[in-house]
Chain A
Amino acid sequence: MSAILEARKLTLSYGEKMVASNMSLRFDKPEIVGIIGPNGSGKSTLLKALSRLLKPVSGQVLLMGEAIEKLPRRKVAKWMSVLPQGAQAPGEFVVYDLVACGRTPYRSSFGAFSEEDRSVIAESIHMVGLQDLTYRRMDTLSGGERQRAWLALALAQQSSILMLDEPTTYLDVHHQLEMLKLIQRLQQELSLTVVMVLHDLNQAIRFCHQIIAIKDGAVFACGTPEEVITSENMKKLYGVESIVTHIAYEGSSFLVCFPHNVCSAAL
């Protein structure tokens, strides 16, 4: 059976700069996969290539077993939603306007929104809990509400794959957790495959089923949070000394990673 999303021997460059070479990945089941790695390691570039925003120099991305470059754009947009990093809508947009854009792949060139379009838009706005702010201008919303509106746009595409590039940047810790919990809930309810670039290791541990660590344009480690987030790996990946341990709190056990020093070699 073909994977939901697969990268085969991807070589990627950004302008003149080679970012990744010969990278292969498979996303087999509906779960949350986090991509981590130091700045400039190629995480975002990889996510762009996987979501057809960047053409690979060589290699292939397969979506549901078919070469993504050869699929019609609309079809890709029905299967996969993309939330780019730091996405910004004009301030005059109200939440509804933004979410309605998610119906683009379903609309013909002429004609207004169908009854189904409207019901999906309403549904998506409800799912992210913005129903009371439906007609509020984007520039009057908080950062967290804005990100949720973008998430609703992605949901309105009714796709089964969600590609998120640092969905929590620029948010405070409360809104970061709120956003990630929302993503977690939606992933379970809608059985989505979520691929997201994250910076915060503990959030990656807490919310991802699988973690892919990228270093210098290659997969450095790949597996469950327990397998990937180890003191040894953090040293090699980021050049930091860290304590990785389990802490028990109110009957639950959490894996935590506390980076406390940069490696002496790096100084």
Chain B
Amino acid sequence: MKAIGADPRSAFRNWMVVGGAMLLLLSILLGISTGAVQVGIGEILDSLRWTQLAGENQQIIYNIRIPRVMVGALVGINLALAGVILQGVLRNPLADPGIVGVTSGAGLAAMVVLILWPERTFIVPVVAFAGALAATGLVFLLSWQNGIHPLRLILAGVAVSAFFGGGMSALMVFHSDKVQGTVNWLAGGFQGRSWDHVRMIMPYTLLGLAGALYGSRYLTILNLGDDAAKGLGVPVERVRFFFIILAALLAASAVSVAGLLGFVGLIVPHLTRLLVGVDSEYMLPCAAAFGAILVVVADTAARVIFRPVEIPVGVLMAFLGAPFFLHLLRKGVRHK
């Protein structure tokens, strides 16, 4: 065997995977312990042991903090994976879950409920999920022509999003007195998320992680373009179809429990690519971890910075994440 030297990236990448996992654990603990009532690690462990649920703090931890942080982490994972997958499959760095219609579909469906049947707020997640899938289905139908062509899909996505967005604007204009109730959902957030929400999103996260890990090598190869991928024996149309469906499910489940948090799905893939490179076998797990960390940390910060007022996590994420991302981008460019 001819020598080509060891991969200089491997140490850093392994460190990133381990570091990401540890940072995620830390941010989860921080998220659970921080809030209006500070709790210690001991109390967190106690509340996980069921027997100690009697105390008020344990109630807060078990019924409020843990589900909230878990929903945040799962939403982060789902949006990040959906973003990585879509950017890879569509070979477009601007692709995010909004591109397959998920955001606008969920948005319109949720708004119809929030404005027209405000007393039924509890069905918003289910309706939003259905709306997201309906919009994605529409985008698929419009772009289908002997398979999914990336450019056609993106254009169909833009058109469908514009159409649904128009519906949202119309609702806001004609029911301007009730818009107040929808603002929080539109900005995205985790206030009052419960174990029900965890149960709602968890299956899709597991499905997404399994699917993404199984297909990660094909995702890398789709980066080379259709012809090159086909030349390597990859059934391009089938793989693309599978991935887009997976991304749509991931994004739809995230949006349905957290509202419109678009930013994660766009930025985390880029951030991960800058840090660990384009190899999907590293990129997917890292992106999942970074997405979860970003959302959990941002949500924790959103709760405590202006205590007792909570700021919408989407706003905070954009304010903190965008400059950080720009910083990385400039550094990355200088590396070349």
Contact = CB atoms under 8 A, between A and B. Distances in A.
B2 A131 contact: yes
Given A119-B1, A122-B2, A105 B232 contact: yes
A135 B8 contact: yes
A135 B9 contact: yes
Contact of A97 (B1, B8, B231, B277): B277
Interface string B186-230: 000000000000000000000000000010010011011101101
Interface string B1-24: 111110111000000000000000
A187 B1 CA distance: 21
Interface string A99-137: 001101101011000000011011101100001001101
A107 B277 CA distance: 21
B233 A110 contact: no
Contact of A122 (B4, B9, B232): B4
Residue of A48, A92, A137 with most chain B CB atoms under a 10 A cut-off = A92
Contacts of B220: 97, 101
Contact of B1 (A89, A107, A123): A123
A105 B277 contact: no
Nearest to B220: A101
B7 A52 contact: no
Contacts of A84: 225, 227-228, 231
A120 B8 CA distance: 19
Interface string A196-226: 0000000000000000000000000000000
B302 to A, nearest CB: 32
A68 to B, nearest CB: 12
A96 B7 contact: yes
B12 to A, nearest CB: 12
A104 B223 CA distance: 14
B235 interface: yes
B273 interface: yes
Interface residues of B, number: 28
A96 B4 contact: yes
Contacts of B1: 118-119, 122-123
A61 interface: no
Interface residues of A, number: 48
A193 interface: no
B336 interface: yes
A107 B4 contact: no
Nearest to A120: B1
Nearest to B88: A90
Interface stretch (A17-25, A26-34, A73-81, A252-260): A73-81
Given A94-B277, A123-B1, A139-B336, A51 B214 contact: no
Given A77-B231, A90-B278, A101 B221 contact: yes
Contacts of A78: 233
A93 interface: yes
A82 interface: yes
Nearest to A157: B232
A135 B4 CA distance: 9
Nearest to B227: A84
A74 B225 CA distance: 17
Contacts of A137: 336
Contact of A104 (B5, B232, B279): B232
A126 B277 contact: no
Given A121-B4, A126-B4, 17 more contacts: A51-B231, A74-B233, A76-B233, A78-B233, A82-B227, A84-B227, A84-B231, A87-B225, A87-B227, A88-B225, A92-B278, A94-B9, A94-B277, A101-B232, A125-B4, A137-B336, A157-B232
28 contacts: A52-B230, A72-B233, A73-B235, A77-B233, A82-B227, A84-B227, A87-B224, A87-B228, A88-B224, A89-B223, A89-B224, A92-B277, A92-B278, A93-B277, A93-B278, A94-B277, A97-B220, A101-B232, A104-B221, A107-B217, A109-B214, A119-B1, A123-B1, A126-B2, A131-B4, A134-B4, A134-B5, A139-B336
Interface of A: 48, 51-53, 72-78, 80-84, 87-90, 92-94, 96-98, 101-102, 104-105, 107, 109-110, 118-119, 121-123, 125-126, 131, 134-135, 137, 139-140, 157, 163
Interface of B: 1-5, 7-9, 214, 217, 220-221, 223-225, 227-228, 230-235, 273, 277-279, 336
